Amino acid sequence: MLNKYARAFFTRVLTPFAAFLIRRGVSPDTVTLLGTAGVMAGALVFYPRGEFFWGTVVITLFVFSDLVDGNMARQLGRSSRWGAFLDSTLDRVADGAIFGGFALWYAGGGDDNVLCAVSIFCLASGQVVSYTKARGESIGLPVAVNGLVERAERLVISLVAAGFAGLHKFGVPGIQYLLPVALWIVAVGSLVTLIQRVVTVRRESAEAEAAADAPESASQGSEAAK
């Protein structure tokens, strides 16, 4: 739902900014690289120190580069396999940095081994969820399911919770518990999504094999009739 509606809205909003960068000679790949670097800096500099509010502000500013670079490529008519590959690959790097930052906090100052493990699970499951779709498509299957929690949902849930949790340092009581709740939600949602995609790939592969065997069986039946 977020991919369908939020992405379309922000794409329209950011189109003038994308056009401005094009006029200044900035390439889409440059925006992709800078955006990923900014997300990694926000996650790995601020989050391990428990500075969730400011870390989320920095990350949010750079997350929008994921929409800007694609917008620029379309305006330039340069949409390519390389651009899609680079964007998708660096998305995984950025996601890893965000959940890695959470894990470092709970392994250190946050002093909570369970939440550290949950953060690592969120990191790993997010990568695997993306891999299942990519791998399924690479073997010719449509993988016609989105799942409960995709990348957009993982980021929004985690970043919104982290940003609000960071307000605890400004004197807002009790709000720090939002982040642990969000991490559990993302972990469970990612697990459900992974199961949904694995089941879908299994079903689609069985259907594809059955469809491939059908003409052969029909041909054999025709030969036997002769």
Binding-site positions: 29-32, 66, 69-70, 74, 80, 87, 91
CB of 50 closer than 8 Å to CB of 105: yes
Give Cβ neighbours of residue 105 (< 8 Å, ≥ 6 apart).
Answer: 47, 48, 49, 50
Of the residues 91, 111, 112, 213, only one is catalytic, namely 91
Active site annotation includes 91: yes
Whose tokens are 């469970």? That residue is 188
Angle of helix 151-165 relative to helix 81-107, nearest 10 degrees, comes to 40
Annotated binding site for a CDP-1,2-diacyl-sn-glycerol: 29-32, 70, 74, 80
Q: Tell which phi-psi region holds residue 206, choosing left (phi > 0), alpha (psi between -120 and 50) or beta.
A: alpha
Within 13 Å of residue 167, how many CA atoms lie on the same side as its CB? 11
Q: Annotated binding residues for Mg(2+), as ranges?
A: 66, 69, 87, 91
Q: What is the DSSP letter of 145?
A: -
- Residue 103 and residue 66 in contact, taking contact as beta carbons nearer than 8 Å: no
Judge contact between 198 and 133, C-beta under 8 A: no
Active site residues: 91
